[in-house]
Structures are given as C-alpha cells and as structure tokens.
Amino acid sequence: MLLIVGCGKMGHEILAATLRSKRHLQEPWWVRWSLIVFTVAVMTVLIVIPVICVFVNAFADGPRTYWDRIINDQETLDSIRVTLTVAPIAVIMNIIFGVSAAWLIARFKFPGRSWLIALIDLPFAVSPVVVGLMLILLFGRRGFLGPWLIEHDLKIVFAIPGMILATAFVTLPFVVRELIPVMEALGSDEEVAAVSLGANAWQLFWRVTLPNIKWGLLYGIILCNARAMGEYGAVYVVSGRIPNETDTMPIRIEKLFQNYDMPGAFAVASILTLLALVTLGVKVILERRARREMELAKQMRETGTPV
Amino acid sequence: MSIALRNLGKRFGNFVALDNINLEIPTGELVALLGPSGSGKTTLLRIISGLETPDEGDVLYFGEDVTDQSARARNVGFVFQHYALFRHMTVFENVAFGLRVRRRKKDEIKKKVLELLKLVRLDSLEGRLPAQLSGGQRQRVALARALAIEPKVLLLDEPFGALDAKVRQELRQWLRRLHDEIHVTSVFVTHDQEEAFEVADRIVVMNQGKVEQIGSPQEIFEKPASQFVFDFLGNVNVFEGHISRGQASVGSFSVDYPHYTEDQTRPAMLYVRPHEFDIDKSSNGTSSFRAVVVRAHPVGSLARVRLVSLDFETPFDAEIHIERFMELSLKAGDTVYVAPKRVRVFTAESNVPDYSI
C-alpha cells in the first residue's frame, strides 16, 4: 500500500515537471499566431469565399428566377435524373464489394493480401480521365469486348451502364477503406461466438457483423455517394455527353458555363454544393459514432469491460 | 464416457501445441484443464468444441466420432474468456440468439430465456446492454447464452480470468453449485490451481502439449505424478541432495531410498510440503535435522514458520497447528529439530517420484 502511495506521489511530480518543461518546448506566440492566421486565410480564399460565391451568383436574380432555371429546363432536370440513377447504383455496387473485400482482408490471411490492399487504393491514384479511357478501350466499339457487345446488342459505353462502371471504379476505395479498420478492431470473437451458438454465415452477417459495423459502413457510403455525384472526368469520357440522356449534373454545369449561361450554371452548381454541405454535416456525426464504435470494440475485446 | 479424445495432435508451424492426447470425460462431470500458458489447454478446449480441427486423432461424443463435424453441428455451449457478448444486443437478445438462429417459436424463446436469466440471477437486467453490466454479470450472461441451446457439453475458456479476485471467488462457487443443479458435462480451462481445486470434480494437468496427470483434486494434491505437477502446484520446499546406497540425503538428514543401492553418489531433489513437517525441541536421530526459526506467525488455525537449516543452510517453510505452535512457543532465533513426515525424491533420470515416507 505504502509503495503505491509512493508511486502516485512520484507520478504527480513527473507530471508537474513535464508541464513546466512543455512551456519551454512550445513555439513563441508570434509563430503560433502567424500559423493560425495563414491557415485561416488560405481556408477563406480557397474554400469559404468560393462556396459563398456559388450561392450568391445562383440567387443573383432572386429565388423565383433560380427556381425557374432548374424546374423549367428539361436538360437540367434530365441531368439531375441521370445523376440520381448513376450515383446510387454505383454506391450499391461499392457497398457489396466493400463489405466482402473488407471481410476478406480483415478476417483472413492469404497470399497476395497486401497486394489486394494496395490495389484497392489504385482508383485514388489513377486520373479519372484515364479510367474513362480504359473503359472505352475495353467496352468501346473497337475495344476488347466491343464486337461481342455489339453482337449481343448491349450498350455500355456512351450509355448509363458505362457511366455507372466509371463512377463505381473511381469511388471504389471509400467503403472498403472505412470498413477494414473497424472490422480489424472488432475482431472475430463475436462471430466465433455466433458460430458456436449455431448461426450460419447469412445469420452471422445480418445479426452480428452488420449491426457492429453499421456506423462505419454508413460513413463510407456517405463519402462514396458524395464523390459519386460529383464525379466528372471519368464520366465525361464514357458518357458521350448526349443531352437529356447521358449528361450528369457536373457535365450539365460545364455545358451551361460554356454557353455563357452563368446564372443557370450556378443554379445547378448550388444544388451540388448544397448536397456537399449536407454530406459534410452527416459525415461529422457519423464519423464520431464510427470512432466510438471502433474504440468500444477494442476495449470490449481487450478487457471484456467498457470504461 | 461422454467425451473421448483419442491420440489428438495439433501443430502450429513448428510449435507442437498438442502431442498425442488421450482423455476421457465422464458424463456429468466438471473437469478442469489446468496448466501454464502455452501448455495447449485452450487449443484442446477449442478442438473439443469444433472451433479448431486437430491434425491427427479423433474426438468422440457419447461414442460418436464428431472429429469432422463443425462447431455448429456439435451443439456445444462455449463460454469465451472475454465473454464475446453481442454488444449491440440486450441481455435478453444475447441469451435468445442461439434459439433465434434455430428458428424456435417466439413464446418458447421468451419462456426459455427468462428461465435461464432467473437461473443466473439476472432476471431484472434483461433489457440492459452488455456495456451496462459489470464483469461478473457479463460472465453470467455468457453462461446463460451458452446454456440456452441445451448443449450436450459446456466448455469454458478461462471463465473467470478477466474478473477481479473477489468476484472470481464468488462466481466459481456459484458455478460449482450451478453444475450440481444442471449436471451438464463441463470442461473449463484455467491456469489458476486454486480455481481448479475448488471447482472441478477432476483435474487434467497439462504441460507442453502433454497431459501430465489426470485425477481428482485430492489425488493430484496427494500424489503429484511428476516433478512438473509438484512445481506447478507450488507451495513446496525443494532440497538439493543426493542418493547413494539406498539412502536419499541432504546434509545430515537422510531417508530410505531402496530404488538406488549403488555406491556411486548421484544428485537428487527432495520435495517436502510445508504441512508435512513436525517441529520439536529435541532430536530424534537422522530422520530430523536442526534448523533455526527465522520468523513465525499464526494464520488462523495454523502457524507459518520460516526456518533455515543449520548444516545445509537452505531456507524453507513449515506449517504446524496453532496448538503445537503455542506449546513450543516458537519465536525467531529458536533452534529446533525438524522431521519431515513425507519426502518425495526426484532424480535427474526419473521425473516420477520414487519414494515417499
């Protein structure tokens, strides 16, 4: 007992000494303040002002005109429809892929595992335009699979399927990246317990694994969706930019802009920006929950008790 | 016999986790697998459950070979070291899980779960989440969950390992009583000998992937089968001595040792438990030796005496009855004669005790 008290006292002394020395380790006030000012200035110029500009320009002629530009423009309406078709399907594809790949990577050791992890990040590294070109080389008329597709009357390039593929490719890492650390922290204890209680793989996934990863998964989905709706480069190449058919919102904005229809371009842009802001808000909430989920998982596994 | 293991072997790379294990566990018994970490006890438990597959050998349940059956098919209840409760489910849902995946009727599930929660004395906490429970409560939920599927066998991996001392004490007495009530064949893994001795009907002592000894707690304590078991049980005095001409001796003290009658002297270890000493103020020949009391204090009905022998200078511990302690009025510095009532001799060649008086 005495020994413990002794240690505690010593601990306090060390802590106090550390705090005192910390003051000497800190940068002088003017360094700290200039760093803060610099960061805030950059953020303002690069992010805050442009975002405000989008909304100011969109509503420059009043809310009624703003509304008219969106609702009475068939091409704009169609571009919204196309985006709302392509993005969700690409997201669903990545949910299925993401959950299976994360499970595989977090639960099993197999040859080529680290290669697979590296490969999953590839879409982040490759330029979206290159992704679009790859798809044309594969599925285009003169592409590798082109003749076979024409024979079977299937249209991928310059149509919705190609755009979905391009979007899914570009957004592929989001869900997996988010799930791997959560599943690794979670460990397989609960899953083994479920198996010992007689659950089959299907029951195991829906009743045990999914509820445990739901916040991490939702977070991945939100990020994936935001990126999918905003994707421009890859979709630009494979869509063929057919008005009313394969124009997505970002492509529509570009077209309006090229036609010097600034208010129209800003109106559509404001919708995309608004979606981004909403995503950001949801992201902050989900991120907090996902992190809690992970920390709790770690504690429960290591000690069997929470804090 | 409800569980039989035949020639089980398991390797992890070059590490031999289990080496030719043969074991039979009678129906309704509570058996402890006792051993230090790395002795293969948890691997053995996982093989019995079907969560791990052996490289060689067979697992039989009630005479039926289940070696190739999955854990799901074997219908065993497994209690994990860190409980592995489903953290997003309430206590009720945790216990109900095994029944839900078996698609039992709702009212049947409810009845069974409430009955089990009553059995583990958690009936008021059915709506709580695992994070809202104490360690001991969680352990009981894990047990109820394992019992819900009416397992043929109940397996527990270090069931009290993560709990603090007081709760551990309570829970193991409770587990013993529970087992007496429901009589399901149970195997639990522990590295705590006290736990094994207090709870189990039968103890399997394991070391380096092998079974060192199987027996009732009394048998293991009275007749440790090997030097390892002796050392592992602890609380024993070891004297470095030698054997020759039918005698095992250390210093001036010697006992008969008829297994070795040759003239050549060979080293040997003499093991004596603290309660196996008589202490007296006068000598009774070569069967006792002289020692000085270093410290002496009463502990309940016993007195613990720390001594150092005078001619071979080995410190050792003895326990004597409190009445005897009072009678001798022992205090530090006293010179006494110590007579071991029972000595076990181990030689380098044989790991098995050769002799005892």
Please write the tens of the pLDDT for every residue from B16-37.
889 889 999 999 899 999 998 8
Q: Considering the domain boundaries, does residue A219 fall inside one?
A: yes
Distance CA B357, CA B353 (A): 12
What is the CB neighbour count within 10 angstroms for residue B205? 26
For range B57-73, the mean pLDDT: 87
Q: Which of B89, B99, B101 to mutate to test the interface with A (most CBs of A within 10 A)?
A: B101
In a domain, A64, yes or no: no
**Does residue A149 share a domain with residue A54?**
no
Q: Which of B51, B87, B149 sits opposite A198 (nearest CB)?
A: B149
pLDDT band at A26 (very low <50, low <70, confident <90, very high): confident
Q: How confident is the model at residue A59 (pLDDT cuts 50, 70, 90)?
A: confident
- When pLDDT is averaged across residues B235-245 and rounded to a whole number, the result is 86
- B87 to A197: CB separation less than 8 angstroms, yes or no: no
| pLDDT for A4 | 40
Q: Are residues A103 and A233 in the same domain?
A: yes
3-state secondary structure chain B: CCEEEEEEEEEECCEEEEEEEEEEECCCCEEEEECCCCCCHHHHHHHHHCCCCCCEEEEEECCEECCCCCHHHHCEEEECCCCCCCCCCCHHHHHHHHHHCCCCCHHHHHHHHHHHHHHCCCCCCCCCCHHHCCHHHHHHHHHHHHHHCCCCEEEEECCCCCCCHHHHHHHHHHHHHHHHHHCCEEEEEECCHHHHHHHCCEEEEEECCEEEEEECHHHHHHCCCCHHHHHHHCCCEEEEEEEECCEEEECCEEEECCCCCCCCCEEEEEEECHHHEEEECCCCHHHCEEEEEEEEEEECCEEEEEEEECCCCCEEEEEEEHHHHHHHCCCCCCEEEEEECCCEEEECCCCCCCCCC
pLDDT in tens, B269-280: 888 888 888 888
d(CA B346, CA B270) in angstroms, rounded, equals 6
Q: Which residues of B touch A303 (CB under 8 A)?
A: 82, 162
Q: How far is CA B180 from CA A218, B20, B31, B183, B220, in A?
A: 48, 32, 13, 6, 22
Interhelix angle for A49-58 vs A262-303, to 10°? 130
- Residues of A near B (CB-CB distance < 8 A)? 189-190, 192-200, 203, 207-208, 211-212, 296-297, 300-306
Instruction: Flag if B86 and A193 touch (Cβ within 8 Å).
Output: yes
Task: Take residue A264 and report the two structure tokens written for it.
Answer: 């129209």
The answer, yes or no, to whether residue A170 has pLDDT greater than 90, is: yes
Looking at the fold, whether A191 and A253 belong to one and the same domain comes out as yes
Phi, psi of A40, rounded to the nearest 5 degrees: -60, -40
For residue B180, the model assigns a pLDDT of: 87
Inter-chain contact A306–B97, Cβ cutoff 8 Å? no
Q: Which of these, B49, B53, B58, lies nearest to B77 by C-alpha position?
A: B49
Provide the token pair at B232: 């592992």
Of A190, A208, A306, the CB nearest to B131: A306
The pLDDT-based confidence of B92 (bands split at 50, 70, 90) is: very high
Q: Provide, as residue numbers in chain A, all residues whose Cβ is less than 8 Å from the Cβ of B128.
A: none
Q: What's the whole-number mean pLDDT along residues A222-239?
A: 90
- Mean pLDDT for chain B overall: 86
pLDDT score of B237 more than 90: no
Predicted pLDDT of residue A88: 92
* A139 and A6, same domain (yes or no): no
pLDDT at A115: 92
With CB atoms and an 8 Å threshold, state whether B72 touches A190: no
More reliable by pLDDT, B168 or A1: B168
Total count of domains within chain A: 2
Residue A164 lies in a domain: yes
Q: Are residues A25 and A127 in the same domain?
A: no
- The upper half-sphere exposure of residue B64, i.e. CA atoms within 13 Å in the direction of its Cβ, equals 8
Highest mean pLDDT among A119-133, A145-159, B236-250: A119-133
Count Cβ atoms below 10 Å from residue A68 Cβ, excluding itself: 14
Nearest CA in chain A to B160: A304
- Kindly state whether residue A65 falls inside one of the protein's structural domains: no
Point out the least confidently predicted range of A89-98, A113-122, B137-146, B327-336: B327-336
Q: Are residues A223 and A169 in the same domain?
A: yes
Same structural domain, A17 and A151? no
Same domain membership, residue A218 and residue A118? yes
For residue B148, the chain A residues in CB contact (below 8 A) are: 197
Nearest-CA neighbor of B240 among B265, B264, B260, B269?
B269
Range scoring the smallest mean pLDDT among A48-62, A143-157, B13-27, B38-52 = A143-157
CB-CB under 8 Å, A199 with B49 = no
Check: pTM over 0.80? Answer yes or no. no
In a domain, A95, yes or no: yes
B83 contacts in A (CB within 8 Å)? 304
Give the Å distances, CA to CA, from B199 to A243, B5, B31, B255: 79, 22, 9, 36
Please give the DSSP secondary-structure letter assigned to residue A46.
I
* B chain contacts of residue A306, beta-carbon cutoff 8 Å: 131
* Average pLDDT value for residue range A132-158: 84
Which residue does chain A place closest to B78, by CA atoms? A196
Looking at residue A12, its pLDDT comes to 56
**A133 and A30 together in one domain:** no
CATH classification at residue A156: 1.10.3720.10
Average pLDDT over all residues of chain A = 85
Domain shared by A37 and A150, yes or no: no
Contact A198 B146 (CB under 8 A): no
A282 occurs within a structural domain: yes
Residue A80: both structure tokens together: 């919204």
Query: In which band, very low, low, confident or very high, does the pLDDT at A307 lie, cut at 50, 70 and 90?
Result: very low
A194: nearest CB among B97, B130, B146: B97
Asked if A190's CB is within 8 angstroms of B71's CB, the reply is: no
Q: What is the pLDDT of residue A275?
A: 86
Mean pLDDT of B97-116: 92
A7 falls within a domain:
yes
A101, pLDDT greater than 90 = yes
Q: Does residue B59 register a pLDDT over 80?
A: yes
**CB-CB under 8 Å, B71 with A189:** no
Q: Of all residues in chain B, what percent carry a pLDDT higher than 90?
A: 23
pLDDT reported for residue B247: 83
According to DSSP, the β-strands at B202-207 and B30-34 are parallel
Single residue among A58, A86, A106 that ends a domain in this structure: A58
Q: In 10 A of CB B132, how many CB atoms? A: 13
pLDDT higher than 50, residue A2: no
Residue A43 sits in the same domain as residue A102: no
Which of A109, A190, A196, A213 to probe the B interface (max B CBs under 10 A)? A196
Q: What is the β-pairing status of strands B237-244 and B247-250?
A: antiparallel
Q: How far apart, in whole angstroms, are the C-alpha atoms of residue A134 and residue A58?
A: 36
Mean pLDDT along residues B159-176: 82
Q: Is the model's pLDDT at A294 over the cut of 80?
A: no
Residue A186 counted as domain residue: yes
Q: Which of B83, B97, B131 sits opposite A197 (nearest CB)?
A: B97
* pLDDT above 90 coverage of chain A, percent: 34
Say whether B72 and A200 touch across the interface (CB within 8 A): yes
| CA distance linking residue A214 with residue B17, whole number of Å | 38
Contacts of B82 in chain A (CB under 8 A): 189, 300-304
Q: The complex's ipTM?
A: 0.74
pLDDT of A6 higher than 50: no
Question: How high is the pLDDT of residue A15?
Answer: 56
Domain containing A264: what range?
Answer: 74-303
Q: Are residues A4 and A47 in the same domain?
A: yes
